[in-house]
Amino acid sequence: MSEADKNAVWNSAITRIAPNKVAVRGYDIAELMGHVSFGSAVHLILTGQLPAPPIARLMDAILVSSIDHGATPPSALAARTVASTGASLSASVAAGIMSINRHHGGAIEDCARQLKAIADRSARESLSMDEAASRSLVAMREAGERMPGFGHRLHTKDPRTARLFELAREAGVDGMHMHAARAVEKAFAAVKKSLPINVDGAIGAILADLGINPAAFNGIFMIARAPGLIAHVIEEQTRERPMRRIDPVNHGYDGPPPRSVSQ
Amino acid sequence: MSEADKNAVWNSAITRIAPNKVAVRGYDIAELMGHVSFGSAVHLILTGQLPAPPIARLMDAILVSSIDHGATPPSALAARTVASTGASLSASVAAGIMSINRHHGGAIEDCARQLKAIADRSARESLSMDEAASRSLVAMREAGERMPGFGHRLHTKDPRTARLFELAREAGVDGMHMHAARAVEKAFAAVKKSLPINVDGAIGAILADLGINPAAFNGIFMIARAPGLIAHVIEEQTRERPMRRIDPVNHGYDGPPPRSVSQ
Amino acid sequence: MSEADKNAVWNSAITRIAPNKVAVRGYDIAELMGHVSFGSAVHLILTGQLPAPPIARLMDAILVSSIDHGATPPSALAARTVASTGASLSASVAAGIMSINRHHGGAIEDCARQLKAIADRSARESLSMDEAASRSLVAMREAGERMPGFGHRLHTKDPRTARLFELAREAGVDGMHMHAARAVEKAFAAVKKSLPINVDGAIGAILADLGINPAAFNGIFMIARAPGLIAHVIEEQTRERPMRRIDPVNHGYDGPPPRSVSQ
Amino acid sequence: MSEADKNAVWNSAITRIAPNKVAVRGYDIAELMGHVSFGSAVHLILTGQLPAPPIARLMDAILVSSIDHGATPPSALAARTVASTGASLSASVAAGIMSINRHHGGAIEDCARQLKAIADRSARESLSMDEAASRSLVAMREAGERMPGFGHRLHTKDPRTARLFELAREAGVDGMHMHAARAVEKAFAAVKKSLPINVDGAIGAILADLGINPAAFNGIFMIARAPGLIAHVIEEQTRERPMRRIDPVNHGYDGPPPRSVSQ
């Protein structure tokens, strides 16, 4: 029985701490360790539910897909800039985390909300999903709005997107948001616009189909990107001189050459 | 061939970005997705090496072990305090990340460094590990220093510690740091001090035996704790009124009752 | 002639930097030093205009009025909590700055906007300011909204408020926002509510009457509070032990006894 | 009578808060307002002493001297980078504050500590200050260390430095740190090095001669720079598009043309 502590001034429903006992959303943490992946534990702590193994694998894949995108995103630049002044690892990483907002990572949530609106419209107005998508895009264009989560500055065919949808289908996930996402791609193609769904849009569609609260989507992106930010800060601290001017565009890669997991 | 871009002003060895191609430490990200857990990808991005499956499982377990410890740690309190003023999710989480420093999470690195010093002394002075541990603790006591990573305010037998060592042994990890850790526990017991290794100490010993750079240990704790911080911020934003006084001690748990993974 | 640098990728209108020359909004910084107070320079950098001496004195008084409010505000608690983990001075102060948001300091801007709405209504609907205030408060009450900038948890007669209005009048400042503020106080009194304007409301009314952009008001509060945050962090670092539980309510004052400027 | 509150769990010596009463370091805040400049209040809250008027004017000049240095310092770039992602004003400014560390602003404290070491050596070894400076610089050079606070990337004759020393002398401040600073300049000149004291060094020497705790020096720089950071963030938010690539070098000035305070 999970009644609240009687003397408590306030309560939290996340983790119960007692002598020699730590339980996350009701699960003994020592039992979770070794039994579930970190992606599974992320799903648990954010939704209250431990996912089935295929969903856990999908959660891990979503986190892996966003672990880093090089040194040009503002989160990496902010973290490196702060690190170059002699800041600690945690302060530098925090500057990177603070950069994950509406315009950086926010398309995950925004795209999911637009896809839901399209799916809702399809149901409400008894339109096909394609028709609902098409009409919604026209309305957005007339209002001067852009559809978030579609198109990419660099990637015309984002390698992460196809893989995410493949893994989602393998996990049996293919709900109204993913359906709406395909309808949007078709609607763009019909007007000769090459605006395929990007990695943010794909993650938004999948997380929404998993039933996760959109308010947590940017948080999932923060979790995913934290290792990348840490790697950038440590590299800045160990490889560059303090207070250098960090060119946000003209930098290259000199790490390991291409290699394969299966080797 | 991994030569650096000729026009680049500076280089990074983390992630190569090219049109329709993202490769982390040389591995195509689309190939990593679905093949490796997030713990495995964390190991890759921080060390440059993809771990064998048992080590990957251990990395996931380490991350799971530190995903949350309730609302009393300063990182959770800082994140909730900032959230209560109306801050964004990312700013609130950043305040929590900034709280991970020498005194909070730092015992992971500090313990690993002390264990290494004991193991080095054992080798250098041709002492048994037990003798080296015992002499080092005497020296620390005389210098007024505490051994980091041993003893816990609340947990006399931390449930996470035994499980971590068990998983490490299952993964074939049992190097000089873990050996030194057991010697320290014995040395404390010999002088009637009940100061068992705690979760920070256990993680420090294992990560050091895995050969990971100690400068990254606090970063691994940040990755692990990020989901907990996000859960606390969302709970604060949705369940509490703005600007409340957050009692750091008198709060309880009213989440799901105890349940088991195997159910 | 202020034309932009021809080769510049982008421009800023704040400070011109050239060898042996620094000019803020056009003024040589060496000439400003010793001639204007910091409050005056704050006005200059945020508005582009150097204020007349009485306004400069008022700006300094506004900054002084908000320099600290003890250890209970969330900005001080966040800064102390982060400091207690071993964070640097700048990271700890940053956590305090991040706490200045809609619910903490935000009443300065929100009150100014509501006072403007009341003044605009008075003009638009040809109502007396008292009548406009009274009707607006009724509408807010019916909509379940609170008037920001009025009433205080602790101070029934905030000592800073009367002094601010006195200094404003001495500087010849008494525009529509201050007029509307008095009308709101009267309207509250007429319905037997003791909700005098508080320090946030007074600052909001005065800054708005000075013609400063409301988007900068929270920034002015950050400038004012920065010294207090720094004092709290240094006190935490030098006087308290790391990782202590910081009671947000039960703390006292043991500094210098009451003394007077004129002594 | 300044005894601590009997029921208090802990005490602070900064600000006493009571109903309708706020006293900073013992001074009624309403009395401070209008009587002292913000620079004076900064001195009070950080040292516990209200400065005499000439020192107050000097404190204001120190703050004014560091209010901004254009868009190239890492604090401005970090603040703008975070702002470009859609972050709030306070989060963006916090990222700038977090950038004030050893390598950015830290020369103020480091220079003061080196000047003290030179002055101490002069007293201890009965050397002239010039001789002590000369020997100390030789020792630093041999140890591969740089003297902090001397020389500047851009300014060979920093306009702020001469003005600061002039104002210090006008305020009757000219102690051992300023004396040592001149000796260092002479010693550099004697070996044909043009490394005049820079603005950080001058502030460090003056604050140290004022008897202020060096641990607060970086805090004084944070206070001074906060308005500049706020101006940069507001300019970024209102003038630039989100997620732009911020060139850290190739940007110009298009603000007001040169003008004079006395006009």
For strand C27-28 and strand C21-24, is the pairing parallel, antiparallel, or unpaired? antiparallel
Residue D7 has pLDDT above 60, yes or no: yes
Answer yes or no: is pLDDT of D193 > 90: no
pLDDT one-digit tens code per residue, B71-121: 999 999 999 999 999 999 999 999 999 999 999 999 999 999 999 999 999
Q: Torsion over CA of C178, C179, C185 and C191, rounded to 10 degrees? A: -160
Q: Find the mean pLDDT for residues A129-135.
A: 97
Q: Is the pLDDT of residue A1 over 80?
A: no
- Whether residue B15 is predicted with pLDDT greater than 90 in this model: the reply is yes
Question: Considering chain B, what is the average pLDDT of its residues?
Answer: 94
What average pLDDT does this structure show over D61-80? 98
pLDDT: which is higher, D10 or D8: D10
Q: What is the mean pLDDT of residues A57-73?
A: 97
Instruction: Indicate the pLDDT class of residue A155, thresholds 50, 70 and 90.
Output: confident
> At A85, is the pLDDT very low, low, confident or very high (cuts 50, 70, 90)?
very high
Q: Which two tokens stand for residue C198?
A: 């508080």
Share of chain B above pLDDT 70, in %: 97
Could you tell me what percent of chain C has a pLDDT over 90?
90
B88 touches chain D (CB under 8 A): yes
Q: pLDDT tens digits for B168-186?
A: 999 999 999 999 999 999 9
What ipTM does the predicted assembly reach? 0.95
Mutate to test the interface with C, among B89, B99, B154, B232 (most CBs of C within 10 A): B99
What is the pLDDT at residue B152?
Answer: 83
Segment D102-126 mean pLDDT: 96
Whether B192 shows a pLDDT value over 90: the answer reads no
Using CB atoms and an 8 Å cut-off, which of residues 90-129 of chain B contact chain C? 91, 94-95, 98-104, 106
Alpha helices of C174-216 — where are they, by DSSP H? Answer: 176-190, 199-209
Q: What is the mean pLDDT of residues C219-223?
A: 98
Q: Does D255 touch chain C (CB under 8 A)?
A: yes
- Model confidence at D99, pLDDT cuts 50, 70, 90, reads very high
Whether residue A227 and residue B246 make contact (CB cut-off 8 A), yes or no, is: no
* C-alpha distance from A55 to closest chain D C-alpha (Å): 31
What is the model's pLDDT at position A153?
81
Share of chain D above pLDDT 90, in %: 90
Query: CB within 8 A of B134, min separation 6: which ones?
Result: B183, B187, B190
Helix (H, G, I), strand (E, B) or coil at D208: helix
If pLDDT is split at 50, 70 and 90, which confidence band does B262 have?
Answer: confident
Q: Which chain B positions have a beta carbon within 8 Å of D91's beta carbon? A: 87-88, 90-91, 94
Q: Which residues of A touch D247 (CB under 8 A)?
A: 248
What confidence category does residue A89 fall into, taking pLDDT thresholds of 50, 70 and 90? very high
pLDDT band at C226 (very low <50, low <70, confident <90, very high): very high
* C&D contacts, CB < 8 Å: 390
Chains near A (3 or more Cβ pairs under 8 Å) = B, C, D
Q: Which residue of B has its CA nearest to C244?
A: B74
CA-wise closest residue to B220 among B64, B73, B79, B103? B64
* Chain D residue numbers touching A98 (CB-CB < 8 A): 82, 87, 91, 94-95
Of the pLDDT bands very low, low, confident and very high (cuts 50, 70, 90), residue D1 is: very low
Examine the pLDDT at C143 and tell me if it is beyond 50. Answer: yes
Say what the pLDDT of residue C38 is: 98
pTM for the model: 0.96
Q: Tell me: pLDDT of C29 over 60.
A: yes
Determine the distance in angstroms separating the CA of A199 from the nearest CA of chain D, rounded to an integer.
17
Model confidence pLDDT, tens digit, residues B125-170: 999 999 999 999 999 999 999 999 998 888 888 889 999 999 999 9
Instruction: Give the integer Cα–Cα distance in Å for B82 and C236.
Output: 18
**Mapping DSSP to helix (H, G, I), strand (E, B) and coil, where does residue C251 land?**
strand
Q: Nearest Cα to C91, choosing from C104, C82, C100?
A: C82
Question: Best mutation site among A90, A92, A93, A97 for testing chain C: the one with the most C CBs within 10 Å?
Answer: A90
- With pLDDT > 90 as the criterion, what percentage of chain A qualifies? 90
Distance (Å) of CA A45 to CA A24, A38, A257, B241, B259:
7, 10, 37, 22, 14
Which helix (H) or strand (E) is A42 found in, with range?
Answer: helix A38-47
**Inter-chain contact B74–C95, Cβ cutoff 8 Å?**
no
Across the interface, whether the CB atoms of D216 and C230 are under 8 A apart is answered: yes
Q: Is the CB of residue D43 less than 8 Å away from at least one CB of chain C?
A: no
pLDDT-based confidence at residue B3 (cuts at 50, 70, 90): very low
pLDDT of the residue at A3: 45
Smallest CA–CA distance, residue A244 to chain D, in Å, is 9
